[in-house]
Amino acid sequence: MKYDLILADPPWQYNNAASNGAANNHYTTTDFYALTRLSIEKIAADNSVLAMWYTGNFAAEAMELAKAWGFKVKTMKLFTWVKLNKLAMDRIDKAIQEERLLDSWDFLELLNTETRMNGGNYTRSNTEDVLIAIKGNGLPRQSASVKQVIYSCLGEHSQKPREVHYRLEQLYGDVPRIELFARESVYGWDLYGNESPVNNITFINEVRYEHTQNNHRNDQTGNQRVFKHRSPNVR
pLDDT of the chain, 235 residues: tens digit per residue: 899 999 999 988 766 444 444 444 444 557 888 899 999 999 999 999 999 999 988 999 999 999 999 999 999 999 999 999 999 999 999 999 999 999 999 999 999 999 988 888 888 889 999 999 999 999 999 999 999 999 999 976 568 999 999 999 999 999 999 999 998 999 999 999 888 888 888 775 665 544 433 333 333 333 332 333 334 344 3
Do residues 124 and 118 touch, judged by C-beta distance below 8 A? yes
Q: Which residues contact 145 (CB under 8 A, 6 or more apart)?
A: 170
Query: What is the spatial distance between Cα 124 and Cα 55, in angstroms, rounded to a whole number?
Result: 13
Note whether 66 and 51 are within 8 A (CB): no
Q: Tell me how far CA of residue 20 lies from CA of 12, 16, 25, 31, 196, in angstroms.
A: 9, 6, 9, 12, 21
Phi, psi of 119 (to 5 degrees): -75, 180
Distances (CA, A) of 134 to 44, 71, 139, 175: 10, 5, 8, 15
Q: pTM of the predicted model, to two decimals?
A: 0.80
